[in-house]
Structure 1
Amino acid sequence: MSSLKNKINEFREKLTVVLEKVGLLTKVQRLLICMVTFAVIGGAYYYFILMPRQDEYTKVQKIYKTQVDMLATYKKRAEEISIYEKKMAETQASFNEAMKALPDKKEIPSLLTGVSMAGSNAGLSFLLFQPEKEINKEFYSEIPVSIKVAGRYHQIADFFFQVLQLNRIVNINDVDVKSKQGGESLEMSCKAVTYMFLEKQALPAEKGQKPKQQIKKT
């Protein structure tokens, strides 16, 4: 207990000496000491406390900016994917709708019959109705039919109109109309072309590709 009192007394004596010395200084000297003291304290605060926090704040800002840029990129990609999916859905719907207009193999005979009946209903006389060999394309095949008929102009126009009303795609190509001598009758030749969607197994083999031989099990 006595040692503590001694230390306190020593501190008071030293403080008294310092204060007496400070009291002997001029105002300018005191002001300079205060400024130096504040500068040292301020420098220590900036170097040991403020500067580390400022560096950490700068790092956090950079990370935040990076995250914001990444989020903007992801949003843009999400919008592009959404637009792409919408276009794909529209394309698929259009493709499905187009496929409905293409006859399958079972419908070809009835479709050709429909074309023939369209000519008969229009009052035309058939001189030729000859289905030709299928022409295979990438994913569909063309089925052409050579047609030659005789009749009047309005009957030919009616035939074309009835063909357009069929529930499957039939194009009329290579139309050639000639007038017959000695009358108002016309002779028209054309090629009616319908299309059939090819299933994967029915697609034409690539050039130079030989069919695989099947090995029979014994």
Structure 2
Amino acid sequence: MEKVKQSIKEFFGKIEKLTKVQRLSICIITLFVIIGGFSYFSYWPKSKRIKAYRSECKQLEAKLVKAKKNAADIDSFREKIARKKVQFKIVMQALPEQKEIPSLISSISRSGLDAGLEFLLFKPQAEKSQGFYAEIPVSIKVTGTYHNVAVFFDKVSRLSRIVNIENIKMSSGKSSRQSAITLNTSCKAVTYRFIDTKGKKKPKKKK
């Protein structure tokens, strides 16, 4: 301890011998060393971290704004989904099942007879798969007046199931002074049925 005290006294004794300019220079140099050390070892590393945190904070704020916007729109999305589900159910109700196809085809034929048409051809064709539904076309040729044909198309459009009339072609038929002009009309009536892909089971492979 005595050696340490002696060293300190000698150090301060040397400082006392220095001029004011030398003392001021030592103070300034010491101050610069302290400030430089603080800046290099403490301030700059923390400043870099602060910049990184600020950048991350801005990114999080942008994500938060986007999340709030999505949360505000979620109710409208749910309403749209609910409406689409209702529309899908209505459309599915208009698509007949496989067991209803024969009675539906009979309804088309009966609509023509009730309208006063004479059938020359009524031929159901092979169905065409279109993914989740299948088209079932029926080739039709009838003879009758224009009014009879219009009534037939109207009756078909009023059926509970979807039936579209396509490829309508008309040509003049028999006519006389006593009776109205008859037309030979050919067309294709297309109905649809839903294909239940979930209900299908894959055939088991034989060993």
1:198 paired residue number? 195
1:136 Cα deviation from its structure 2 partner = 3.1
> Does 2:100 correspond to 1:111?
no
Residues 16 and 40 (structure 1), Cα distance of their counterparts in 2 relative to 1, 3 Å cut = closer
Q: Percent identity?
A: 35
Superimposed CA distance per residue, residues 20-75 of structure 1 (whole angstroms, 9 cap, x where no aligned partner): 414xx2x4334323222322332333344x24xx3244245436635754785795
Residues 156 and 36 (structure 1), Cα distance of their counterparts in 2 relative to 1, 3 Å cut = same
| Mapped contact 1:170–1:192 kept (Cα < 8 A) | yes
The number of aligned residues is: 193
1:104 Cα deviation from its structure 2 partner = 0.8
1:62 paired residue number? 52
TM-score, length-scaled by structure 2: 0.67
- For structure 2, list consecutive stretches of 5 or more residues without a partner in the other structure: none
Q: Which amino acid aligns with 1:146?
A: S
Q: Which amino acid aligns with 1:17?
A: G
**Bigger Rg, which one:** 1
SS in structure 2 opposite 1:109? helix
2:153 paired residue number? 160
SS in structure 2 opposite 1:188? strand
1:208 paired residue number? none
Superimposed CA distance per residue, residues 189-210 of structure 1 (whole angstroms, 9 cap, x where no aligned partner): 222121222333898x9xxxxx
SS in structure 2 opposite 1:167? coil
1:188 Cα deviation from its structure 2 partner = 1.5
1:96 Cα deviation from its structure 2 partner = 4.3
2:129 paired residue number? 137
Q: Identify the match of residue 180 of structure 1 among 173, 176, 180.
A: 173
SS in structure 1 opposite 2:125? coil
SS in structure 2 opposite 1:41? helix
TM-score, length-scaled by structure 1: 0.64
